């Protein structure tokens, strides 16, 4: 298990990307050095009593002694965070939770398939960087990224993924870019058209629950291992309050207890898709 730190971090930059999205960069030595793709931080956005609870954000990108979160303004806490200025200080706990398993470095691996819905791009970009870092000359690995967004203006990180050498496929609800429809339609098209041998792969997904459920069904149908990162409302973020539990298949299932509960913050947010009961 990775180490967790509570730090008062200096904001280095807070960049508005559009009306609804921003990227915030924190100075930290320890969080970027220890974070794994898929882990998150709990941010106390204000020193005042409100909002009382910390808010979870995935680690989006790490630099030398810095890390970024990529955020959507949806309510009070994200609005307050979006208004931070360079030099402000924010209390942050992290890195938290279990990250993605990057898989072996061996040559005999198909492409890595990343499926992002909405803000799911935030942790998946960091994962893509980690997978790309692990490429070796004799284990050249293709990374295919499927991004789904409401509209072209909500499409984030397409260029960043491409710069990393990923192949990017896009779907938007309104058809303003890429396929008109759901990102899982795009994924299904790809899996249907790709021969078995090339498909030998792993799927990593982060996004809204209906999308993750569909990714899980597809991974089962095509017999591909999939890891999914769940988002639940969180209170403590450290496994103490049981406010974020999800139903999973019990490991030693009996007829009386075919299921169990796991905490998204502590046992996740990354789970094996086959584990979750939808």
Ligand X SMILES: Cc1cc2nc3c(=O)[nH]c(=O)nc-3n(C[C@H](O)[C@H](O)[C@H](O)COP(=O)(O)OP(=O)(O)OC[C@H]3O[C@@H](n4cnc5c(N)ncnc54)[C@H](O)[C@@H]3O)c2cc1C
Chain contacts with ligand X (rule: CB under 6 A): 40, 51, 55-58, 69-72, 74-78, 119, 122, 231-234, 269
Compare residues 6 and 18 and give the one whose CB is closer to ligand FES.
Answer: 6
Binding partner of residue 51 among ligand FES, ligand X, none, CB under 5 to 8 Å per kind? Answer: ligand X
Name the segment binding ligand FES (CB under 6 A); options: 6-14, 88-96, 179-187, 229-237. 229-237
Compare residues 4 and 235 and give the one whose CB is closer to ligand FES.
Answer: 235
77 binding ligand FES? (CB under 6 A): no
How do beta strands 89-96 and 66-72 pair? unpaired
Residue 229 contacts residue 120 (beta carbons within 8 Å): yes
* Radius of gyration, alpha carbons of the chain: 19
168 binding ligand FES? (CB under 6 A): no
Compare residues 111 and 237 and give the one whose CB is closer to ligand X.
Answer: 237
User: CA angle, corner 118, sides to 27 and 140, nearest 5?
Assistant: 75
| Positions 231 through 270 that interact with ligand FES (CB under 6 A) | 234-237, 239-244, 263, 265
Give me the least distance between CB of 209 and ligand X, in Å please.
Answer: 8
Give me the least distance between CB of 125 and ligand X, in Å please.
Answer: 10
Cβ-count burial 149-164 (b if 16+ within 10 Å, e if not): beeeebbbbbebbeeb
User: Can you name the residues that pair with 134 across neighbouring β-strands?
Assistant: none
Residue 159 contacts residue 125 (beta carbons within 8 Å): no
Alpha-carbon span 221 to 137, nearest angstrom: 32
71 binding ligand FES? (CB under 6 A): no
Q: Name the site residues for ligand FES (rule: CB under 6 A).
A: 234-237, 239-244, 263, 265
């Amino acid at each position: 298990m990775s180490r967790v730190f509570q730090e008062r971090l200096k904001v280095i930059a807070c960049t508005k990307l559009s009306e609804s999205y921003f990227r915030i960069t924190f100075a930290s030595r320890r969080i970027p050095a220890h974070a794994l793709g898929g882990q998150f931080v709990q941010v106390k956005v204000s020193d005042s009593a409100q909002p009382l609870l910390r808010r979870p954000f995935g680690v989006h990108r790490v630099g030398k002694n810095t890390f970024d979160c990529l955020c959507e303004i949806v309510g009070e806490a994200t609005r307050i965070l979006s208004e931070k200025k360079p030099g402000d200080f924010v209390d942050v706990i992290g890195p938290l939770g279990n990250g993605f398993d990057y898989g072996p470095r061996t040559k005999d691996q198909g492409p890595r398939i990343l499926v992002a819905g909405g803000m799911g791009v935030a942790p998946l970009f960091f994962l893509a960087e980690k997978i790309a870092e692990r490429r070796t000359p004799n284990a050249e690995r293709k990374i295919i990224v499927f991004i789904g967004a409401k509209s072209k203006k909500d499409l984030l990180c397409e260029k960043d993924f491409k710069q990393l050498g990923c192949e990017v496929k896009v779907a938007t609800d309104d058809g303003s870019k890429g396929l008109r429809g759901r990102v899982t339609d795009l994924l299904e098209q790809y899996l249907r058209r790709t021969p078995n041998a090339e498909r030998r792969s792993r799927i990593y997904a982060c996004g809204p629950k209906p999308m993750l459920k569909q990714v899980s069904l597809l991974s089962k149908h095509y017999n591909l291992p999939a890891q999914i990162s769940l988002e639940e409302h969180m209170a403590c973020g450290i496994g103490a309050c049981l406010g974020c539990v999800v139903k999973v298949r019990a490991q030693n299932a009996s007829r009386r207890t075919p299921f169990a509960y796991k905490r998204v913050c502590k046992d996740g947010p990354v789970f094996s898709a086959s584990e979750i009961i939808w």
